[in-house]
Amino acid sequence: MFSSQTEWKAAVLVGETLLETVQRLTLVAEYRDEDAHSHCRRVRHYTEFLVRQLGISEPDSGIMIFSSPMHDIGKVGTPDSILLKSEKLTPQEFDIVKKHTIIGEKILGGSNNPYLESAQRFALYHHERWDGTGYPFGLKGEEIPIEGRIMYLIDKYDALRSRRPYKPPFRHEDAVHVIAKGNYITRPEHFDPDILDVFLSCERSFQDIFDAHPYNA
C-alpha cells in the first residue's frame, strides 16, 4: 500500500492529526459546559472498563475507548438557550435537543477511518434504548450498535452524578438505584441487560472513576 516507510509515517501522522482535530471539536461542542474536560476523561475510562468487562477484544475495544468521548459532538448545533436552560424543556425544545444525534452523525459520518466510524455510531445511537423507546430511530435490542448500548448506560450514570442547570448532582448510591430500579424518567429495561448486569456487579468501579475525575476538576 505504501511505497516507502516515509509514506507510511506520513499516513500515520495524517490519521493522528485527523483524530486529534475531531477530539478538539468535541471539546468545542461542549465548551459551554464547565465540566467538559473531566466528562470526556470519565467517559473514556468508563468505556475502557465496560469493554474489558464485556470481553470485547482488540482492535475493537481500543477503537471504542478512543472514540467514545466524541458521542456528544452534535451538541455544537444545540442553542445555548436550550442547552443551558434551568427549567423543564418544552416538547419543541426537546425535539431540537434530539437533533444532536443526527448532527453528530453528519459531522463524523462518511469516513472509512475505523475510529471515526465508531465515533459516528456513538454519536448517532447513544440515546437509543433497549426496549425501543429511545431516539432518533426507536431501535430495539441488538438493532442498536454496541457503541450505543454502552454509551446509553455511561451517559445516564454520568449525567445523574453531575450537576446540571436543572438538577443537583446525585450521590453514587442514588444514581445506581435509579439505573437498577428506575424512576419517573429511567427504567431498567432501557438498558442492554448484559451491560446492566456488568455495571451492577462492578458499580464501585464507576464511582472510583468519577471520584478520580470529579465534576469541574
**pLDDT value at 26 more than 70:** no
pLDDT at residue 5 in the model: 67
The x, y and z cell numbers of residue 18, run together, are 485527523
**pLDDT band with cut points at 50, 70 and 90 for residue 40:** confident
The pLDDT tens digits for 90-139 are 999 999 999 999 999 999 999 888 988 999 999 999 999 999 999 999 99
CATH number of 5-212: 1.10.3210.10
**pLDDT band with cut points at 50, 70 and 90 for residue 83:** confident
Mean pLDDT of 45-57: 97
**pLDDT value at 73 more than 60:** yes
Mean pLDDT of 174-178: 98
Residues present in the chain in total: 217
Q: pLDDT higher for 217 or 71?
A: 71
**pLDDT value at 140 more than 60:** yes
pLDDT at residue 2 in the model: 45
pLDDT at residue 216 in the model: 62
3-state SS, one letter per residue, for the chain: CCCCHHHHHHHHHHHHHHHHHHHHHHHHHCCCCCCHHHHHHHHHHHHHHHHHHCCCCCCHHHHHHHHHHHHHHHHHHCCHHHHCCCCCCCHHHHHHHHHHHHHHHHHHCCCCCHHHHHHHHHHHHCCCCCCCCCCCCCCCHHHCCHHHHHHHHHHHHHHHHCCECCECCCCHHHHHHHHHHCCCCCCHHHCCHHHHHHHHHCHHHHHHHHHHCCCCC
**pLDDT band with cut points at 50, 70 and 90 for residue 165:** confident
pLDDT at residue 10 in the model: 60
